Structure 1
C-alpha cells in the first residue's frame, strides 16, 4: 500500500479496524485502510485485486466501512471530538469523538462530508443530548438504497442527571442524501435503537424498500431488531453473545449469523422472531456472513491461523458442498463483501506492515 497499515492488535470490539473493501459496479473495488498517522487511506483495485493509481487519504482515527456506486462511494470513519467541561456524575467516558460519512468520486477525491453524530461548536460530548463516539463499542456499517446512504453504529448517549451528566451506550442510524444532507425524519432512522448495543448490522432490502438492521444487546440478552425492539434470537449475557452479519434471504426476510458460547448459528427472520435456526459446524465468537452468487450465502470464521468457510442455501439454510479453508488471517470485525459476478472478497493482513492481502472466493455454478 506504500504506507503502514494499522495492525490487527487485540481485535476487540473497541479497537480500530484495519481495512474494509467495497465492490464497484465495474467489477473492481475500493479498498480503505487505517494508517498509523491518523489518516484513512482509499485506493482503487482492478479486477485482479491489485492497486491502480495513487491512493488518497482523509483525516480519521478509525475506519468503519466503505461502500461503492457508479459515481464513487462513501467512507464511514471516526474523527477526534471534544468532551467539554461536563461534569460527569462519576467514572470516565472519554474520548468524545465524531462519526462521519465521506463522499468520494471515481478519482477518490472528496465530494462532501457529513457528521452523523451530533457534536458541534455549541454541543460537546458532555452536554445533555449529545450523541458521540467513545471508547466503548462504536463500530458501524453502511448501506445504500441507490440514492441515499445509511450509517448504523454504536454511540454514546449523554443524559442530564441533576448537576452532572451520565453517559449511556446504544446505537444510532442516520440517512444522508446524495447531496450530503441528513434526511430528517427518514422512517428507518433513529436517535437511539438498541441499548446497550454491539454488532450493529444493516442491509437495504429493495423488496420492502426499507433498511433492515440487527444488533446484539444486553436488553434481555438477545439478537434483536431495533426501533422498536423485536427479538430475533434469545441469548445469554455471559460475555459470549456476539452478532455476525446480516444478508437478504433468497425468499422473503433475512439471515443473520451470531454466536453464543462459541457456537455459530444462522437465523432466518422477517419482522421478529426467527422462524428457522441452523446450528452450524463453526466454533467461533465472531462469524462473517455475506451474500454469495445467486441464492447462496458464505459463512466464514477463524480457524487457527486461517479462515474456514461453508456455503449455505440462502432460502433453506442448507449447507452446500463441503467446508473449505481460506488461507488468510481472520479479523473479528472486518467483513466480506459481495460482487456482481457472484464472488466475495475480504481484505486481510498482508505479509508486511505496508501490505494488504485480498482473499476472493470465486463463484460456483
Structure 2
C-alpha cells in the first residue's frame, strides 16, 4: 500500500528508536493506520475493508508515534512531542531530550477534537526540574486502552529527582487516564505516577468484567514480569539483557495471559492478580513475542521467524494449541502490535517495499 508521506523508523527496532506505525480496528471492520513521518509529523489515514488507504491522511504534530486506538466516533493517537529540559543542573551524565507524551483525540473524519499531555511538563516545570516526568531517548514506548468512555495510556517515562544541588534522572513507567472530554481523571484507581522501575515493554488491557485497566511490565526490580503499583510478580526472570515482555490479553472466564521471552524462549503465563497459575512453554524462539485476542475463546501468538513471522493460535481458557502453525509473510517489528477485529480476524502493520509503503498482514478467523 503506497502512502503519500514517508514512514521513518523501518530500520531500527530498539525501544529507544522511533516506532514506524500502528493500526487500530474500527467497530465497522475498517481501520485507522498511523505512521511516524518526516518534518515532525505523525500521519493518520483510514483504511477500507480491503486494507487500502481511502481519502486524505491528516497530519498531527509529533516526533514519535506510540499507538492508535478507535471507537465508534473516532479514536485516539498516543504520540511524543518536543519538550524542554531546562538547565537542571544534572548531577552527571546526559539524559536529553526532554519530550512530552500526548493523547490526541480525533473524529471519524480524522480531525482533531482534543489533545491532552500525559507527562507533566508545563511552562513552570521543565525536564530537569525536580518532580518532572518526561519522555527521553531511553525505554519510552507506550500503549493505549479504553473502557468505552475513558482512555488510558501506559508508557515508559523519565523521572527527575533532586539530589542536593543537582538532579538525577531515573526511568520507570507511568499510567494516566483521560476522560472522553480530554481531561485527566484525577485519582483514578488504576492510574499511577510511576509504577515499575526500571521498566520496559509496558503493556495494558482493559477488562470489562472487572472494570479495571490491567498493566504488565518487564522490570529489573527483582528481574521479572510484573504488575505495577504495587509490584506483583507474574513470572521470575533474569536481568541478562534477554528479558522482554510481550503483550497481555484477556483469558477466557477470568484472568489474563501474558506473553514474554527470556533467553529467546517464548512463554505464556496465565495470571489474575500476581503470580502465574499456568505456564505454557511454546517452543517458539524469539525475543519479542506478540499476543492478541483472536475471535471467541482464542488468542494468537506471533513471533519473528527468519525474514517472516510465524503464528500459532491457542485456546484462551486452557492454553492448548488450536490448529497448525502459520507463516505470515511480512517483516516483524519488535515493538509493534497486532490488533483484534470484531469479525474475529487480527491485523498487523508491516514494512512495505519502500520508505513510503506499508503492508497490512491480516489473519482471518479460524
Q: TM class, shorter-chain normalised?
A: over 0.9
2:59 alignment counterpart? 57
Say whether residues 1:68 and 2:70 are aligned partners: yes
Question: How far is the alpha carbon of 1:9 from its aligned partner?
Answer: 1.7
Equivalent residues in 2 for 1:1-365, closer than 5 Å: 1-364=3-366
Q: Do 2:129 and 2:160's aligned partners in 1 also have CA atoms closer than 8 Å?
A: yes
Q: Distance in 1 between matches of 2:351 and 2:174?
A: 30
Q: Distance in 1 between matches of 2:10 and 2:216?
A: 25
Q: Do 2:9 and 2:17's aligned partners in 1 also have CA atoms closer than 8 Å?
A: no
Question: Runs in 1 of length 4+ with deviation above 6 angstroms?
Answer: none
Q: Provide, for residues 225-254 of structure 1, a one-character-per-residue CA deviation record: whole Å limited to 9, x for no partner.
A: 000000000000000000000000012100
Helix, strand or coil for the counterpart of 1:37? Answer: coil
Question: How far is the alpha carbon of 1:265 from its aligned partner?
Answer: 0.1
Q: Distance in 2 between matches of 1:54 and 1:293?
A: 31
Helix, strand or coil for the counterpart of 2:239? Answer: coil
Figure out how many residues of one structure are paired with residues of the other and give that number. 364
Q: Do 1:7 and 1:353's aligned partners in 2 also have CA atoms closer than 8 Å?
A: no
Q: Distance in 1 between matches of 2:29 and 2:137?
A: 36
Helix, strand or coil for the counterpart of 1:100? Answer: strand
Q: Provide, for residues 230-286 of structure 1, a one-character-per-residue CA deviation record: whole Å limited to 9, x for no partner.
A: 000000000000000000001210000000000000000000100000001210000
Q: Do 1:65 and 1:140's aligned partners in 2 also have CA atoms closer than 8 Å?
A: yes
Q: Do 2:263 and 2:287's aligned partners in 1 also have CA atoms closer than 8 Å?
A: yes
Question: How far is the alpha carbon of 1:2 from its aligned partner?
Answer: 1.1
Q: Provide, for residues 317-338 of structure 1, a one-character-per-residue CA deviation record: whole Å limited to 9, x for no partner.
A: 1011111100000000000000
Q: Distance in 2 between matches of 1:126 and 1:339?
A: 42
Q: Distance in 2 between matches of 1:10 and 1:72?
A: 30
Q: Provide, for residues 136-173 of structure 1, a one-character-per-residue CA deviation record: whole Å limited to 9, x for no partner.
A: 10000000000000000000000000000000100000
Q: Do 2:30 and 2:47's aligned partners in 1 also have CA atoms closer than 8 Å?
A: yes
Q: Distance in 1 between matches of 2:355 and 2:203?
A: 29
TM-score in terms of structure 1 length:
0.99
Helix, strand or coil for the counterpart of 2:353? Answer: coil
Q: Provide, for residues 10-60 of structure 1, a one-character-per-residue CA deviation record: whole Å limited to 9, x for no partner.
A: 211100000000000111000000112210000001111011100001011
Gaps of 5+ in 1: none
Q: Distance in 2 between matches of 1:25 and 1:86?
A: 47
Gaps of 5+ in 2: none
Q: Do 2:86 and 2:127's aligned partners in 1 also have CA atoms closer than 8 Å?
A: yes
TM-score in terms of structure 2 length:
0.99
